[in-house]
Amino acid sequence: MKLKTLTTAIILATVPMTGAFAAALDRSGQSIAAFLQPGNYFEAGLSVLDPTVSGKTNITATNPTSQETGDMAGDYYFPSAALKLQLNDNFSVGLIYDQPFGADAEYTSSNMFTSPLGNTSVEVDTQSLSLIFGFQPTVNWNIYGGGVYQTVKGSVELQGTAYSGTASPSTGFAGYKANIDEDGAAGWLAGVAYQIPEIALKASLTYRSEIEHTIDVKESSIGTNLTALPVPGLINLNANKGSTDITTPQSVNLDFQTGIMANTVAFANVRWVEWSKFAIRPYAFGKASAAIGPAVGQPNGFDLVAYSDDQISATVGVGRKLSEQWAGNVSVGWDSGAGNPISTLGPTEGYWNLGLGAQFSPTPQTFIAGGVKYFWLGDADAQSGAQFNTPASVAKFEDNHAIAYGLKMGYKF
């Protein structure tokens, strides 16, 4: 059952899309597998996601006929890269670049004033660079940690009767816009890994801290009736200026692999992300929601985006060396989602997926790997921020799916 270490590394590298369509804003899966490769190692990859997410609006007094939302999920891609240097038998250093969190969604309507979701849209982009130092007291153990620098930027626009003062519950936020200028902040990670190279066994546990951004969000409310609810003149969204805290969540990744027969490895990943404590409440939006909140059963106001549950996801699979140059794998994945009902800005509750991967090694030191995953996305009830922590919703999304593609190139030197 003995496998060469490099061969095992290449087999597992055919899974380039760990968290391509995960709960809440989770995107890359924040893997550090590249840092745990033997010797000096470099890789670069690109993953592309093509989701199809549509639903029907609920029938209400102001929406007497259920309407199709159309496909509101945008296609997106995210690159990744990693460099790992083994300085000597006991010390290593690495750099990992990825885009850990993000969102891209837009509802389109010919009449934003009569459609419940109008032309509501959201876009969130993050980038992350992790500098990791490792200490290997023996060939079996690796203790590592380091710093993480992360940037975040985004924009959101709320349109439609689901956010207007005419819908139930009334919020008066139709026409609200927010632009989040790019901001950078620091965090940290730490972990431990254990391996037995002779049987291709490797296990690692990695913790990543939350990262807090303090940003001056540019907010506007052109066309809203916020100055009329619930007391005339109480809130002028355009005149309220202040900083906004956006804290990306802490997470834990558990990775495991082992040889199970000649030229064959089994692998698994389990990930936990604390989305239940994540919320975005821009400064002026918060002032307005605090004033309007009591009228809709939210005495402390409400958030622009929030989630009720933590995310748990898992992937299991088998990789096999088919020849000196070819290897492949098959995997199954599951994601719990971050609660249901869920925000209209990301109306899916978890997924199941099936993945296939293949890799070609023109030399023992290099490989090109590709993979595809099909996602069965969980049904969800979508709700506005004013409805959070209630069973109320504005639309239902069912029978949706996504396809992800990935390509990765690696080099051992």
Question: In the chain, pLDDT over 90 holds for what percent of residues?
Answer: 60
Q: Quote the pLDDT of residue 169.
A: 39
Amino acid occupying residue 404: A
pLDDT tens string 247-300: 999 999 999 999 999 889 999 999 999 999 999 999 888 888 887 788 778 888
Question: In the chain, pLDDT over 70 holds for what percent of residues?
Answer: 86
Per-residue pLDDT band at 10 (split at 50, 70, 90): very low
Sequence-distant (6+) residues with CB within 8 A of 359 are 10, 11, 13, 14, 326, 327, 328, 367, 368, 369, 370
Using a 10 angstrom Cβ sphere, with 0-12 exposed, 13-18 middle and 19 or more buried, the burial of residue 120 is buried
CB 358 within 8 A of CB 408: no
CB 317 within 8 A of CB 270: no
Q: Quote the pLDDT of residue 411.
A: 94
Q: Nearest to residue 17, comparing CAs of 261, 360, 335, 363?
A: 335
Architecture of the 5-364+374-412 domain: Beta Barrel (2.40)
Average pLDDT over residues 69-74: 90
Q: Calculate the average pLDDT of the chain.
A: 86
pLDDT tens string 83-132: 999 999 999 999 999 999 999 989 987 555 567 787 899 999 999 999 99
Whether the pLDDT of residue 316 is over 50: the answer is yes
Whether the pLDDT of residue 185 is over 60: the answer is yes
Domain extent listing, the chain: 5-364+374-412
**Using omega within 30 degrees of 0 as the cis cutoff, is the peptide bond preceding 16 cis?**
no
61 or 85, which is more confident = 85
Q: Nearest to residue 255, comparing CAs of 65, 37, 70?
A: 37
395-397 and 55-57 strand pairing: antiparallel
How far is the CA of 118 from the CAs of 103, 106, 107, 161, 296, in angstroms?
18, 9, 6, 7, 21
* Largest CA-CA distance found in the chain, in angstroms, rounded: 76
pLDDT tens string 15-45: 445 556 778 899 999 999 999 999 999 999 9
230 or 139, which is more confident = 139
Q: Quote the pLDDT of residue 236.
A: 60
Beta bridge partners of 266: 258, 318
Whether the pLDDT of residue 358 is over 70: the answer is yes
**Tally of CB atoms within 10 A around 323:** 9
**Helices and strands of the chain, counted as H and E runs:** 2, 24
177-196 and 400-412 strand pairing: unpaired
Whether the pLDDT of residue 13 is over 50: the answer is no
DSSP E strands, 197-243: 201-208, 211-215, 218-220
Using a 10 angstrom Cβ sphere, with 0-12 exposed, 13-18 middle and 19 or more buried, the burial of residue 403 is middle
- Helix extents (H) in 263-355: 283-292
Q: Quote the pLDDT of residue 14.
A: 46
Amino acid occupying residue 189: L
Q: Nearest to residue 15, comparing CAs of 53, 51, 43?
A: 43
Q: Quote the pLDDT of residue 138.
A: 97
Top-ranked range on mean pLDDT: pick from 55-59, 168-172, 222-226, 275-279: 275-279
Pair of tokens at residue 111: 């009449």
How far is the CA of 135 from the CAs of 129, 189, 337, in angstroms?
20, 14, 35
Whether the pLDDT of residue 239 is over 70: the answer is no
